[in-house]
């Protein structure tokens, strides 16, 4: 360190020879750590994993935590397939992630509730436009599942609808599970609902000349 003031240089050298400077540095470091932690907290979602390496799980709760990043990451990391069931599919972020996955060659298939055919902000038309097959499960009163199956290895489920309201306004839960047997049951149920669903076609809105 360069000092232009000789008195200041002498004072600094005397301080460095004294053992108390170590205590001062420790105190400054500790205080800086507290400030950093306050301004840069840990990721807001809750991450928990079982003691065993497999199966594993993560859980997230809104509105106190942000769950959308977990959903987008799961979709982005897909290698082969993404199967979606949704009562409400209106999130543009999730819709965009599914379209991106399709463009990368990932097999994406969607089953929605009949309300999605006319719902405001529904993403199903934008999914159909890029070639993602969409089916409507209209046999039950409502198709209330909220499920995303990734590569037949991971399932995302819970009360969380695929909507912005679920992320920003509602009190919801999202559970991400990696368990081969459990995911197989979800995948089997997906196929059962798919067989009872009707293929949906792109709705082209007519414009006046």
Encode pLDDT of 75-124 as tens digits. Answer: 999 999 999 999 999 999 999 999 999 999 999 999 999 999 989 999 99
Domain that holds residue 111: 56-200
Is the pTM above the cut of 0.75? no
Residue of 137, 146, 179, 200 marked catalytic: 146
- Specify if 206 maps to a domain: no
Which residues are paired to 155 by β-bridges?
A: 149, 177
- Specify if 35 maps to a domain: no
Q: Name the token pair of 136.
A: 């409507």
- Specify if 171 maps to a domain: yes
Residue of 100, 117, 144, 152 marked catalytic: 144
φ and ψ at 207, to 5 degrees?
-110, 145
- Split into its structural domains, the chain has a count of 1
- Specify if 14 maps to a domain: no
- Mark whether 151 is an active-site residue: yes
Cα 100 from chain centre:
15
- Mark whether 146 is an active-site residue: yes
The 10s digit of each residue's pLDDT in 28-55 is 455 544 443 444 344 444 444 443 457 8
- Mark whether 18 is an active-site residue: no
Strand pairing of 107-112 and 154-158? unpaired
* pLDDT score of 12 more than 80: no
- Specify if 84 maps to a domain: yes
* CATH number of 179's domain: 3.30.870.10
Q: What is the model's pLDDT at position 82?
A: 98
- Specify if 17 maps to a domain: no
Residue of 100, 107, 138, 151 marked catalytic: 151
- Specify if 102 maps to a domain: yes
- Specify if 24 maps to a domain: no
Q: Max CA-CA distance within the chain? A: 88
């Amino acid at each position: 360190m360069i000092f232009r003031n000789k008195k200041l240089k002498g004072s600094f050298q005397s301080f460095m020879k004294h053992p108390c400077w170590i205590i001062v540095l420790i105190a400054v470091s500790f205080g800086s750590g507290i400030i950093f932690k306050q301004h840069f907290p840990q990721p807001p979602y809750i991450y928990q994993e079982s003691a065993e390496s497999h199966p594993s799980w993560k859980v997230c709760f809104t509105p106190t935590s942000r769950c959308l990043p977990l959903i987008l990451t799961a979709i982005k990391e897909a290698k082969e397939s993404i199967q979606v069931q949704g009562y409400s599919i209106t999130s543009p972020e999730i819709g965009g992630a599914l379209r991106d996955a399709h463009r990368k060659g990932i097999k994406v298939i969607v089953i929605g509730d009949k309300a999605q055919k006319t719902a405001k902000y529904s993403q199903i038309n934008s999914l159909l436009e890029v070639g993602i097959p969409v089916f409507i499960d209209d046999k039950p009163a409502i198709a209330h599942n909220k499920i995303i199956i990734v590569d037949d290895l991971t399932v995302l489920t819970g009360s969380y609808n695929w909507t912005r309201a679920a992320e920003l306004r509602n009190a919801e839960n999202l559970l991400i599970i990696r368990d081969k047997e459990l995911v197989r049951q979800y995948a089997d149920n997906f196929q059962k609902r798919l067989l009872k669903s009707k293929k949906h076609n792109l709705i082209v809105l007519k414009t006046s000349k």
